[in-house]
Structure 1
Amino acid sequence: MLPPILQNLRIPVVGSPMFIVSGPELVIAQCKAGIVGSFPALNAREGEGEAPLLEAWLTRITEELDRHNQANPDQPAAPFAVNQIVHRSNARLQRDIEICHKHKVPIWITSLGARPEVNQAAHDCGGIALHDIINNKFARKAIEKGADGLIAVAAGAGGHAGPQSPFALVQEIRDWFDGPLLLSGSIATGRAVLAAQAMGADLAYIGSPFIATEEANADGSYKQMICDSGAMDIVTSSLFTGVSGNYLAPSIRNAGLDPENLDKADVSSMNFSSSSSKPKAWSQIFGAGQGIGAIRDVLPAAQLVDRLDREYHQARTTLLG
């Protein structure tokens, strides 16, 4: 059974949080269109001595969605989510937890480590906690440490992706867990959303298609590269963050590297501190999933959700007919 906050979405979709790309504009557009919008807390980076930008982002998102709901009581916005990177190098974690707690963030997404205190903070302010995992072992640990639901990041997902087939990963998790389960990995059409549900997931977790939207905080060349590329253009490498991830080969070539001969990096090189060079790296090396072959145009996020909704219900009708 899904928690109430996830039960009344237009279609069973959560927009995944994307480093640099996801900001208030995209989140607000996704939520108004009827799906969960999300962003990583670390995307809100203020200058030294400035007030926390995360505070301003949460205020803006909450107030704009409230205005939308008052004007559209029959079609209220979907809830939003904030992603917390709980890796030990994230020196901002405790501060960001406190800000999210203060603003009563409804959905918390945790990555790169399961932390009971983060789950408890989410529960204390009335929220739910979803943890992303790449295998069944990590899934069990996340639930043991208090997560309410799981995000199965399977092969083909953009950015940090797992190596396992979505069929295998969902199958193993559903053998023991009947709570909220989201699936990530090459989901770019409404048909794929329905397929995710058919194999046992409750919701689809979609990122890469939203890079090619007008509201995404991505360079125009990045958006166009999404439209021009397909699954064959995705390269899996640990070089850029220390953890295996999926990236666009053309962006790797543009950075002067050979996508077919990349060195490997150790997980110890992962760094999410404020002094990290990762934002620069991610702005040059573009993450994307294998499902981008379905993306051909840069559209407003609402139009992308319209397409997903249309395809999803057409697929349901065809299968039931």
Structure 2
Amino acid sequence: MPSIDLLSRFRDRLSLPLIAAPMFLVSGVELVAAACRNGVIGSFPTVNCRSPEQLDQWLTDIGNRLKAHADASGKQPAPVCANLIVHRSNARLERDIEVLLRHRPEMVITSVGSPAPVLNALHDAGALVFADVASIRHAERAVAAGADGLVLLTAGAGGQTGWLNPFVFVRAVRAFFDGPLVLAGGISDGYALRAAEALGCDLAYMGTKFIATRESMADARYKAMLVASSADDIFLTTAFTGLQTNMLRPSIAAAGLDPDNLPQRGAIDIGKDIDVGAREDRPKRWKDVWSAGHSVSGVAEVLSVDEMIARTAAEYREASTRV
């Protein structure tokens, strides 16, 4: 355990050691607010908002909803957590940070790059900054930069995924870092969540199952495909992003592509995805070709966030009695 428990500031507001993962075009106001009022950290990528102005509106709306819930129930919600893409390709980064600072977030997750450029400002605002990492080398660099916690992206995570076995990754990082760790990849129920704790993690991501909730922004066809799919339907490819990405094989086929005969690495690019002539309705990654993690085998039906978290909590309690 770390000498200072950084999560103590909001641990008593959590019903589960869980984060509803930030998912592109999926995580929105309804999903985040529902997760937080159920005691699960609700996160979303700031780029899900069309502009910094909409980001401000989202944060205000979520805050108002959670305040109303707290006033009515007497129970404080879990933190809202923004996810910042810190790569230089994010032209909005500075303006999004300005918005976040006005709302004084409790927790922020950085992705696709070093957290160093945003750490000081976010720390000054009182936020814990967690860095999304996919290798031991990147974890070491994030710790050296001053990240408060790490999100370990492991094999089996949906979308742009990691490649390390979670058992190996967690134990290797625990050898040099005693701060908060979040396991991302393969968390499909409360049993897996309890196992992540036993492995040495403080929190875990759950993503794919939150896609298949009524509150997510995902297309209804996407949710239905998750219910109908299993881990055998997850296809690892570099064709869509240039990085290893877990996608739903049925969605690739539905988009008119052969999963076993895709273009070379990164050839299908955002904004001009999939060269099928001048058609404006050509399929695009994320919107028409959908991602999921290995945990899709745990998606049996589309539930409300309330129902899904309640089931996960019951599973977690049962798993805890077996230890």
Equivalent pair of 2:159/2:245 in contact (CA under 8 Å): yes
Runs of 4 or more consecutive aligned structure 1 residues displaced over 6 Å after TM superposition:
275-279
Among candidates 297, 302, 321, match of residue 301 of structure 2: 297
The CA deviation at 1:260 is 2.0
What SS class does the counterpart of residue 188 from structure 1 fall into?
coil
Correspondences of 1:1-321 after superposition (within 5 Å)? 1-8=5-12, 9-46=14-51, 52-73=53-74, 75-266=75-266, 280-319=284-323
What SS class does the counterpart of residue 14 from structure 1 fall into?
strand
Which deviations, in whole Å up to 9, do the C-alpha atoms of 1:187-221 show, x marking residues without a partner? Answer: 01100000111111111111110000000001110
- State the TM-score, normalized to the length of structure 1: 0.92
Which deviations, in whole Å up to 9, do the C-alpha atoms of 1:74-108 show, x marking residues without a partner? Answer: x3211110000111111001100110011112111
Which deviations, in whole Å up to 9, do the C-alpha atoms of 1:157-194 show, x marking residues without a partner? Answer: 00111111000100100001010000011101100000
Aligned length: 310
Aligned residue type for 1:53: Q
Equivalent pair of 2:226/2:299 in contact (CA under 8 Å): yes
What SS class does the counterpart of residue 285 from structure 2 fall into?
helix
Which deviations, in whole Å up to 9, do the C-alpha atoms of 1:224-279 show, x marking residues without a partner? Answer: 11111111000011111121110100000011111122233259x977xxx78699
Equivalent pair of 1:161/1:246 in contact (CA under 8 Å): yes
In structure 2, runs of 5+ residues without a counterpart are 275-282
Moved more, 216-225 or 51-60: 51-60
CA distance in 2, matches of 1:199, 1:119: 28
The CA deviation at 1:287 is 0.8
CA distance in 2, matches of 1:252, 1:280: 10
CA distance in 1, matches of 2:172, 2:232: 28
CA distance in 2, matches of 1:276, 1:311: 43
Aligned residue type for 1:37: G
Equivalent pair of 2:45/2:85 in contact (CA under 8 Å): yes
CA distance in 1, matches of 2:138, 2:227: 34
- State the TM-score, normalized to the length of structure 2: 0.92
Aligned residue type for 1:55: D
Equivalent pair of 1:34/1:77 in contact (CA under 8 Å): yes
Equivalent residue number for residue 278 of structure 2: none
What SS class does the counterpart of residue 24 from structure 2 fall into?
coil
What SS class does the counterpart of residue 283 from structure 1 fall into?
coil
CA distance in 1, matches of 2:180, 2:264: 34
CA distance in 1, matches of 2:214, 2:153: 26
Instruction: Give the fraction of aligned pairs with identical amino acids, expressed as a percent.
Output: 43
Equivalent pair of 2:16/2:40 in contact (CA under 8 Å): yes
CA distance in 2, matches of 1:264, 1:122: 39
Equivalent pair of 1:191/1:315 in contact (CA under 8 Å): yes
In structure 1, runs of 5+ residues without a counterpart are none
Aligned residue type for 1:79: P
Equivalent pair of 1:237/1:264 in contact (CA under 8 Å): no
Equivalent residue number for residue 277 of structure 2: none
CA distance in 2, matches of 1:307, 1:216: 18
What SS class does the counterpart of residue 131 from structure 2 fall into?
strand
The CA deviation at 1:302 is 1.1
Which deviations, in whole Å up to 9, do the C-alpha atoms of 1:108-153 show, x marking residues without a partner? Answer: 1100001323122211111110111111100011111121000001
CA distance in 1, matches of 2:204, 2:26: 19
